[in-house]
Amino acid sequence: MGKNNFLTDLRKIVSRVFTFLLLLFTANVSLAQNTCSDNGDGTFTNPLIPADFPDPDVIRVGDTYYMVSTTMFVFPGMTVLKSYDLVNWEYCSNALPRFDFSPCYDLDGCNRYGHGQWATSFRYHDGTFYLLFITLNEGGFLCSATQAEGPWSIRKLPKGFYDPGLFFDDNGDVYVAHGYGDLFITPLDENFAPAGRDSLVYTGTVRQGLEGTHVYKIDGYYYLYCTYGGRDGIQVALRSSNIYGPYEEKVVLRDTVPGVTFGIHQGALIQTQTGQWWTILFVDSGPLGRFPSLQPLSWVDGWPVAGIDGRGVITWKKPHVGNAYRVKQLPTSDDFGSITLGMQWGWNHNPDPEKWSLTQRPGYLRLVTGKVVTTLVQAPNMLTQRPFAHYDNKIPTTGTTKMEVASMKDGDLAGLAVFQDPYAFIAIKQEKESRSLIMVNNGELIASVPAGSDTIYLRAILSNSTEEATFEYSYDNNKFKQIGNKLVMKFSLKVFTGNKFGLFNYATKEPGGYVDFDWFTMN
C-alpha cells in the first residue's frame, strides 16, 4: 500500500510539473501571437483588451487607473481592472461576489440571461470608490469600498436610473444623469436617493437611442459624454455651463470604416497625471463580445475630439504617464492549484457553494451535480471564462481541459461548452453503467461515441472572424479528434455577453455525481 501511494503521489507530481511547463509554453505562445495590446516598443494596438469587457467606465486615482465593465448574470461579477499606463491591465476585484435579490439569479425557475448588472458608473469621492448600476428587473444599486480591491458593500437604492452617470460637483452637490433617448438630471441626497425631480435636459437629435451617459466638469463646463449605441455606434458630447442645461451637442467620433474601430462608442474621458487626454470606448466585435478601445483625445474649441482625422487609431503611441511599466497579460489558464478561483472565472448565475470545491481534492476543480435539470441553459454551477481573440484573425482561440469522470451518476452530463445563444458542447454522458462521448449543438444531439477512458481531454476551437467553433477530444492530450459539427456563434441580445468557455456538470436524473477538472488552458 505504501509503495502504491508513493507511485500515485509521484505520478501526480510529474503531472503537475508537466502542466506547469504546458502553461508556461502556452503563455509564451500567446505572447508570440500578440494577444496583448502593448507592442513593447512604446506603442499599443487596439483592441485594448481583445475580450468581452463592455460598457467601460474609467477613473484615475493618483497614479492608478481603474476600469469597470458589464458582466450581467455572471458572478463573481462587475469586474474591476486596474492599470498604471492605460494599456496593461490586471484584475483588481469582482465587486459582486453574488447577487441575492431575486431567485432568478439562482436559476430557480427563471433566469437573468440578457439582464442583470450593466452600464455601471465608476466614481471616487472623499476616500470612497462608488459603483452605481441598474438591473432592469430589480432596480438601482450602489456598491462602495475604501479601496478598489474591496471588500465592496452593496445596497439597494429607492430608485434605479437607466445607464446612470454619477457625478459629485465641486460644491458638494451630487447628481445622476440617466435615460435613453431623453436624458435627465436628478439631484441625489446623502443616501443617493432622489432629492428632487427628474429634469429633462436633452433629447437626442442624431437618431434614436442616446444613452450611456457619464458626467464631467472641465474648465467650468458640464459635459455629458454619451453614445448613440449599436454596432455602428456614435460617440457624442453635450456641453453646458449649467448642470440642467441648455446643452449643445457635438460628435466626438463616428468611425464608419469596417474593422476594429468601426462603430466605436460608449465609455469614459480620462486625463493622465501628465495632462494628456484619452478616451476608452468599446467596439461590438462579433461573437466574442464587445472589446474596449483606447483612443487619443484632443480639445478643439472646448469640445473633445477622439481618434485622428475622424477615425479611431489602431496602432498608436502609448499614453505618457511619467513612467514606464512592464507588459502584462490577463490570466486565462488555470491548474486549480489554489484554494480560491482566479478572478478571470465567473459562474453562470449565482453558484451553489456546496456543489463545487477546490479543496475536496486539492489541485482539482470538483463540480458536484445539484438539482435535476433538462438542459445546459438551466444548469447551475457552470464555470465560465471570456475567450481572448487574437490580433491576427487567422489564429483561432483554443480552450482545453482535462476531466476525470469516474464518479458520475446515471443521467449526468459533464464537459466543455461554448456558451451563448446558440450554444454547443462536448461532454461525457453517463447512462446507467456506460458512458458515451457526445457533441450537442444548441440542444440537439449531433454525435455520440463510446467513451474510452475515465480521463479525457476536451477542446473547443473558436474563431471570432469566421464565427465558428469546433470540438475535439483526446485520451492522451496529444492526438485530438474532432466530433460533431460546427457551432455558428452569434452575439444574441437574449444573452448579451460574448460567447464564453464553460466547464459544467449537471444531472438529468439524480443529484450527487461529480467530476474533477485537473486544469484548463487557453492559447
Residue 63: which residues within 8 A CB-CB, separation 6 or more? 84, 273, 321, 322, 323
The full 3-state SS of 138-155, as one line of letters, equals: CEEEEEEECCCCCCCEEE
What the block records as the C-alpha cell of 167 is 457625478
Residue 483: which residues within 8 A CB-CB, separation 6 or more? 426, 437, 439, 447, 449, 471, 472, 473
Find the angle CA(346)-CA(351)-CA(355) to the nearest 5 degrees: 120
Coil vs helix vs strand at 247: coil
Q: Give the bridge partners for 145, in sequence order.
A: 129
Examine the residue annotation and report whether 472 is marked as an active-site residue of this protein. Answer: no
Residue 405: is it exposed, middle or buried by C-beta count within 10 angstroms (0-12/13-18/19+)? buried
How many CB atoms are located within 10 Å of the residue 456 CB?
A: 24
CB 51 within 8 A of CB 289: yes
Examine the residue annotation and report whether 444 is marked as an active-site residue of this protein. Answer: no
Q: Which of 138, 211, 255, 284 is catalytic?
A: 211
Q: Give the bridge partners for 90, in sequence order.
A: 82
Residue 196: is it exposed, middle or buried by C-beta count within 10 angstroms (0-12/13-18/19+)? exposed
CB 112 within 8 A of CB 137: yes
What is the C-alpha separation between 470 and 132, in angstroms, rounded? 39
What the block records as the C-alpha cell of 353 is 457553494
The full 3-state SS of 162-196, as one line of letters, equals: CCCEEEECCCCCEEEEECCCEEEEEEECCCCCECC
Q: What percent of the residues of the chain are helix, what percent strand, and what percent coil, each to the nearest 5?
A: 10, 45, 45
Residue at 179: amino acid letter: G
- Least Cα distance to 60 among 298, 222, 269, 304 occurs for 269
What is the C-alpha separation between 40 and 292, in angstroms, rounded? 19
Sheet containing 345-348: give its strands across.
Answer: 74-75, 345-348, 383-385, 500-507, 412-419, 424-431, 434-441, 444-450
Q: What are phi and psi of 36, to 5 degrees?
A: -105, 145
Q: Which of 38, 55, 255, 516 is catalytic?
A: 55
Q: What are phi and psi of 68, to 5 degrees?
A: -115, 150
CB 397 within 8 A of CB 387: yes
Q: Which residues are catalytic, by number?
A: 55, 211
